Structures are given as structure tokens and as C-alpha cells.
Amino acid sequence: MGIHIQKNFSLKSFNTFGIDVKARYLVQVTGVQDLYELLMDEAFKTIPKLMLGSGSNILFTRNFPGLVLQMAIEGIEKVKEDDRYVWIKAGAGVNWHTLVVYCIDHGYAGIENLSLIPGTVGAAPMQNIGAYGVEIKEVFEALEALEISTGALKVFDQAACTFGYRDSIFKNTLKGKYIVLSVTLRLQKQPLFRTEYGAIKATLEAMHVKELSIKAISDAIIRIRQCKLPDPKQMGNAGSFFKNPEINTTNFERLQAVYPTIPGYKHGQAKVKIPAAWLIEQCGWKGQRRDKVGVHDRQALILVNYKKAKGTEIKQLALDIQASVAHKFDIELVPEVHII
């Protein structure tokens, strides 16, 4: 086997929280054949396995006792096009923002609103990444994945992925059973500009943009994200820690009677989505620091590792935030971050 297996390997540089835990084994996956041989090796068949991209959506609270597979399959290619669309296939190890920049440079529209989201292409459909009014499911065509138990290759189309809000089949019934190898997106040749969400319009105006383009929208979103989100290289974090909760309309109206300024956005026929950041801020957590960990002072959804914190310290902070929101609003906050 030509693959390099590293033992007792520190994962500090492989998670954006910067938590210093160790993997019993770590392998960087650069090709399908090596991955297949590794999974079929009797020495590794029975131990726990963890698929890792850039570690931007994970919180380690302990050492990992098995095999960590760090996805490093690269490559971006155009596989098909017609008068309206172009289909782009990217390796699961490609940095997500690198793919966004590639598409913008080639005039392919649809993912510019997802600029600067940390992580890899392979992780993007697993949690149906979304930002500024766009989710990846809107441009998703298919993905190729390898079944861990058998080594069989399988293609999943959009329907098979059962996408939901920050959710897919790979976070539920197929969790830990497949490894994503590549993703194919269907992008538009003629852009449909999405500027209605958040501060996009105001930022474009502040940038004195005269002619709207996918590059201008991307630049505006990068500016917004850099203004309110800390750089993980400077301050350990995993972006938004919690999902925005959905409650039924009746419960929202009940809360609205008590808290008239509570923000809510209709989601479906009888659901309202409430910004988790608002709930956390109302409970007094924004900017709070607890020794080595805390809540960011500009964005209450972001939990930060100020210096050499343990994952258990960040987990406890998250649990305390959940408890206070549940006590004050009777709403359960669900982590977006995968906790191990």
C-alpha cells in the first residue's frame, strides 16, 4: 500500500477550534484506490473511522481512538454544458472558497453568495451549507461516495441526499457510512442575482458598485463576513455554533407578545425561523468570556477558543448557553457543529 499512515497524530492543525487532541491513526486521502485499499485492510476494518475535511465544523472533546481520514482529493473540471448551464465537478478535498473563486473567474453563477464559507467541497453537501439566502442544494447535481463497509462506489443525486436546513442524509441515516469523493454542481451561465438577504445591498452601495456582477456580490459578502466573523487562524472558532431554531407560528406569536422586538422569518406554511444569535444575545452571552473560552463580542453565534482551551470547556459553554435560552424562551438550540 502506497498510502502513508501516521500514528498518535496531533489534530490541532486539522480543526479550526485549534483543539490539541490526537488521532490513533491519520491518513491523508489523495486518491480513490488508496482509500479503497485502506478500508479493505483487515487491520483497520473494525476500528472507528472519522472523515475530516478542513475541520471547520467540528469540536473535539477527546482523543480519537481510531482512524482519521483527512480528505485531500483535489481537481476541478467542467464535465458538461448546454445553452443555460455548466456542470462543474470538484474533488472532495478542494477548498470550498477556491471552488467559488474558480466559478466566478469563469462566469459560472450560483454559489457567489456562499463565498468565504470555511471547509471543503466534500463537506458542503453533507450539511447543505448556506448563507445569504442561498443553499448548496439549489445548485447541487450529484456526488460520488464510497461506502465504508464494502468499498462500493455510489452516486447520490439531489433527491437521494434528502437535503434539509443544514442537514442531509449523511448526517442522519447514512451518518458515518459513506465518504464523499467528489461533488458536481449545475451552475448558471446567466446569473440570477440574490441581494435581498442581510446587508448585501447596503454593502454594495458602500463599495460604490455601479454594475452588478457575481464578482461584486462575492466581494460584498467577503467584506461582510470579514467584518463580523473572527479569522480562525487568529482566534479558534468554527463559525456559527448553533442552527437557527424553527418554531410553529402559534409559539412565535406567544413569544412576540412578551418580546415585541423578537425577529422571525416565515419558513414554510406554519413555521417561523428565529435567529439564534438574537436569543443568545438576549440571554446576556454576547461578548462574555470564561477563562480560555467565550462568546464573540460581534457575533453571538460564534464560540471562541482564546488560548489553548480544551474541547470540553467549549462544550460546557455551549451547554450553558442552551440551558439559558431554553429557560428564558423555551426554545432548544441545536448545535450546527459536530461534537466528538
In the residue annotation, 336 being an active-site residue is answered as yes
Scanning the structure block, which residue is given the C-alpha cell 442537514? 167
Give me 314's grid cell. 467549549
User: Among the options 56, 168, 218, 240, which is catalytic?
Assistant: 240
**Among 51, 55, 50, residue whose Cα is nearest residue 65:** 50
In the residue annotation, 186 being an active-site residue is answered as no
Contacts of residue 38, Cβ cutoff 8 Å, sequence gap at least 6: 1, 3, 27, 29, 44, 67, 69
User: Among the options 112, 135, 138, 336, which is catalytic?
Assistant: 336
User: Among the options 138, 166, 182, 218, which is catalytic?
Assistant: 166
In the residue annotation, 218 being an active-site residue is answered as no
Alpha-carbon distance of 256 to 299, in angstroms, equals: 23
**Which strands make up the sheet holding 76-81, listed edge to edge?**
76-81, 85-91, 178-188, 140-147, 153-157
DSSP 137-153: GGTEEEEEEEETTT--E
DSSP secondary structure letter of residue 196: -
Residues in the chain: 340
Classify 317 as helix, strand or coil.
Answer: helix
State the catalytic residues.
Answer: 166, 240, 336
